[in-house]
Amino acid sequence: MAIEQMIKEMARKVQDASNDLATLSTAAKNSVLSDVALLLMSEKEQIQKENQKDLTAGREQGLSAAMLDRLELSDKVFESMVDGVNEVIGLPDPVGRISDMSRRPSGITVGRMRIPLGVVAMIYESRPNVTIDAAVLCLKAGNGVVLRGGSEALHSNIALAAILQKALHANGINPDGVQVVDTTDRQAIEYLLQQEESIDLIIPRGGEGLIRFVSQNSRIPVLKHYKGVCHVYVDADADLEKATPIIMNSKTQRPGVCNALEGLLVHRDVASHYLPSLAEEFEKNGVTMIGCPATRSICPQAMAAKEEDWGTEWLSLNLCIKIVDSVEEAKEYISLYGSKHTETIVTENYTTAQDFLSSVDASAVMVNASTRFNDGGQLGLGTEIGISTTKLHSYGPMGLEELTTRKFVVYGTGQVRN
């Protein structure tokens, strides 16, 4: 009950403060962000001391080296946080932008004005730098933000949130606009998910388990990003000189991320002469081939794919390979095993390319480009707060604009309706 009350109170406070944030000028918001960048540098040592507490506790609890690495607020992480803040300062402010202005037959003039969503709650695991990255984007879009990071990063998150509140306060703005849930009690998340009167959007960032838990327990809209099972389809009309760098970049540049390649589809007409040379590249780069029988008849070194391998998000150097008879079969495979994240075709055929672009259902559909381009920065949104793989509100990377919505504004001169 104490926690329920605390969460309710916290959500209400952010909501109140978000009304002030919604009407701030761009200059005022950028001034807050500048102060965040300055404070990050001037209070670095203090924050790192708090981070040490989390690291020590993490070591005692036996966290893996990889987990500890993600938890550490090193000097390099500080630099990247400051760079991130400065990048957001440079992004155009979507709030107040009016589009689609038109005069209606009644004589009223109608437009659509971008406004903040209100209050965004972030629920995330590990990496404490998300506290800064996410909050800064929410603030620039005029939203209040509730932060609930991983319990192993609690001290770090509280210290980072204090910076944000200090920067708001220094600019004469209600610091309640940023709140951090300072308990590791998991019930806090459940209560947070019930504050539909105060919170407008929940963004979970973490494993599929977290996202499923959040979306099944929330009455508030949730930005869902389940997983990235991305494919490259090498068409019969592919330029194979383009295919190899696209496949290798998609698979190996950063295998552990959501826009990395997990499944390769190759048209039967090119498979027998293309796959052997590709297999050499794979071997050089440590990629493990897991293939269909037709693949294995060409490349016997490939492991035999089991049914459950298709559609797996490996996040490693494993790669499923299937030979298909047509672009239709490729599209059917993608529809069955894809995750609506990123799908690429390699082809020189104009009609096949246009057909693939129009008919494949994914947040980003590409021709002759690496799947790794599905990223807010690469696609031109600036920093992103996540990638939505469901279609409501936003499909694909969410930047500043996706943290806003539009209301109708009507300029009349006394009109009434007939």
**Site residues (vs a copy of itself, CB under 8 A):** 19, 22-23, 96, 100, 102, 104, 106, 108, 110, 113, 115, 117-118, 200-201, 215-216, 219, 221, 239, 241-242, 245-246, 248-250, 253, 335, 357-359, 361-370, 372-374, 378-380, 390-397, 405-417
Smallest separation, CB 121 to a copy of itself (Å) = 13
Q: Which is nearer to a copy of itself, 88 or 222 (CB)?
A: 222
List phi, psi (to 5°) of 159: -65, -40
Smallest separation, CB 350 to a copy of itself (Å) = 11
HEC per residue, 264-329? EEEEHHHHHHHHHHHHHHHHHCCCEEEECHHHHHHCCCCEECCHHHCCCCCCCCEEEEEEECCHHH
The gap between the terminal CA atoms of the chain, to the nearest Å, is 54
Burial class (CB in 10 A: 0-12, 13-18, 19+), 273: exposed
Smallest separation, CB 60 to a copy of itself (Å) = 38
Residues whose CB falls within 8 Å of the CB of residue 131, separated by 6 or more in sequence, listed in order: 147, 149, 156, 157, 160, 161, 164, 180
Smallest separation, CB 170 to a copy of itself (Å) = 24
Smallest separation, CB 353 to a copy of itself (Å) = 8
Q: Which is nearer to a copy of itself, 149 or 177 (CB)?
A: 177
Of 199, 240, 171, give the one whose Cα is nearest residue 31.
Answer: 171
Residues whose CB falls within 8 Å of the CB of residue 211, separated by 6 or more in sequence, listed in order: 204, 222, 224, 225, 226
Separation of alpha carbons 240 and 305, rounded Å: 24
Lookup result for tokens 């920093």: 383
Q: Which is nearer to a copy of itself, 295 or 404 (CB)?
A: 404
User: What SS3 class is residue 238?
Assistant: coil
Smallest separation, CB 204 to a copy of itself (Å) = 14
Smallest separation, CB 256 to a copy of itself (Å) = 15
Separation of alpha carbons 134 and 125, rounded Å: 13
User: What SS3 class is residue 189?
Assistant: helix
Q: Which is nearer to a copy of itself, 74 or 106 (CB)?
A: 106
Q: Which is nearer to a copy of itself, 219 or 268 (CB)?
A: 219
Q: Which is nearer to a copy of itself, 68 or 367 (CB)?
A: 367
Smallest separation, CB 177 to a copy of itself (Å) = 16
Q: Which is nearer to a copy of itself, 126 or 363 (CB)?
A: 363
Lookup result for tokens 């998000």: 313
Q: Which is nearer to a copy of itself, 317 or 367 (CB)?
A: 367
Residues whose CB falls within 8 Å of the CB of residue 26, separated by 6 or more in sequence, listed in order: 93, 95
User: What SS3 class is residue 221?
Assistant: coil
Smallest separation, CB 354 to a copy of itself (Å) = 10
List phi, psi (to 5°) of 320: -80, 140
Which residues is 204 bridged to in the sheet?
123
Smallest separation, CB 245 to a copy of itself (Å) = 5
266 neighbors 254 (Cβ within 8 angstroms): no
Q: Which is nearer to a copy of itself, 165 or 394 (CB)?
A: 394
Q: Which is nearer to a copy of itself, 64 or 358 (CB)?
A: 358
